Amino acid sequence: MKKAERQKDKEIRPGMQVEFICPKCGTHLAWALPDMEMNCPKCGNWVTNENRKKPKLDLMLPTDDDQLTLF
């Protein structure tokens, strides 16, 4: 089945950004590289790639995505 193969392919590729969401309060912090750490301004929790709350659809963006600058 091709679907099963695709799910295995969930490794984070270099140069891709993930969305950091605080696991405590659910605040969306920012898009950043997975090796970043962020301090949640609301609850002071440190959010890393390991503990970040992952949305159902865990999107990744390339770092050179121009859409990011539109915010």
Could you list the residues that contact Zn ion (CB under 5 A)? 22, 24-25, 27, 40, 42-43, 45
Q: Of 16 and 49, which CB lies nearer to Zn ion in the complex structure?
A: 49
Kindly state the smallest distance separating residue 44's Cβ from Zn ion, in Å.
7
Q: Cα–Cα–Cα angle for 69, 55, 44, nearest 5°? A: 75
Q: Of 15 and 41, which CB lies nearer to Zn ion in the complex structure?
A: 41
Give the residue from 47, 45, 42, 44 showing the smallest Cα distance to 32.
47
Q: Of 38 and 61, which CB lies nearer to Zn ion in the complex structure?
A: 38
